């Protein structure tokens, strides 16, 4: 009886060691897929706008939204503002991150004092991918009384057995449109 107990306990210990080794090897082979980036807003001294960045994930300086104001030629105007995205971890369960940029014209008469807006994205290369709605985001868009909304999605399309990282930059350029005479 004692011999059977020793054999059984030895076999159980060996099976547990093999299981622990397999889990360790599996965990060590998991991919690390990360992305990070920044968003910069540039507006002329004559720009009056409210910019809201929002996401379903807490990727915007650790929160889900952030608001920036441009005050035009007033003394408290900050013509360039920026923030950093948190570390974006991609996995088979989380293959993309999306955020929206909403531009609201805050001039007294936004139908007369219009803004032009364009977006530039750099640093995204395969196996990472970026999609933006509207698709012609690099072309100046007019912002009058209706808000302009850009939706940016960054995704990872590669294999999850490898390690990959990307640092991207998003630049939003705002300017005042000269009224037609």
Q: Name the helix (H) or strand (E) containing 4.
A: helix 2-28
Match 């490898």 to its residue by tokens.
Answer: 162
**Structural domain spans, the chain:** 1-30, 33-177
CB 61 within 8 A of CB 86: yes
Asked if the model's pLDDT at residue 181 lies above 60, the reply is: no
CB 50 within 8 A of CB 81: no
What's residue 151's pLDDT? 92
CB 86 within 8 A of CB 130: no
Asked if the model's pLDDT at residue 56 lies above 60, the reply is: yes
What's residue 29's pLDDT? 43
User: Which residues fall within 8 angstroms of residue 138, CB to CB, at 6 or more apart?
Assistant: 118, 119, 120
What is the DSSP code (8-state) at residue 24?
A: H
Provide the strand spans (E) within the chain: 33-43, 48-54, 65-71, 80-84, 88-90, 96-105, 114-122, 128-133, 141-143, 148-156, 164-177
Asked if the model's pLDDT at residue 23 lies above 60, the reply is: no
pLDDT, greater one: 141 or 16: 141
65-81 average pLDDT score: 69
CB 32 within 8 A of CB 17: no
Asked if the model's pLDDT at residue 27 lies above 60, the reply is: no
Asked if the model's pLDDT at residue 21 lies above 70, the reply is: no
Asked if the model's pLDDT at residue 134 lies above 50, the reply is: yes
Beta bridge partners of 27: none
What does the alpha-carbon distance between residue 118 and residue 43 come to, in Å, rounded to a whole number? 11
What share of the chain in percent tops pLDDT 90? 3
Which of 166, 5, 159 has its CA nearest to residue 97? 166
């Amino acid at each position: 009886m004692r011999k059977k107990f020793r054999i059984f306990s030895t076999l159980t210990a060996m099976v547990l060691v093999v299981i622990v080794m397999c889990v360790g090897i599996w965990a060590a082979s998991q991919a690390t897929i990360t992305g990070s980036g920044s968003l910069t807003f540039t507006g002329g001294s004559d720009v009056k706008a409210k910019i809201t960045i929002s996401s379903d994930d807490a990727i915007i300086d650790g929160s889900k939204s952030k608001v920036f104001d441009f005050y035009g030629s007033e003394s408290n105007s900050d013509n360039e503002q920026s923030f950093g995205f948190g570390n974006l971890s991609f996995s088979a369960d989380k293959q993309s991150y999306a955020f929206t940029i909403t531009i609201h014209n805050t001039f007294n008469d936004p139908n007369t004092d219009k803004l032009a807006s364009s977006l530039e994205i750099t640093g995204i290369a395969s196996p990472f991918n970026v999609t933006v709605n509207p698709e012609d985001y690099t072309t100046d868009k007019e912002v009058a009384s209706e808000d302009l909304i850009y939706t940016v999605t960054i995704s990872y399309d590669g294999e999850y057995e490898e390690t990959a990282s990307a640092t991207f930059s998003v630049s939003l350029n705002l300017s005042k449109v000269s009224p037609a005479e």
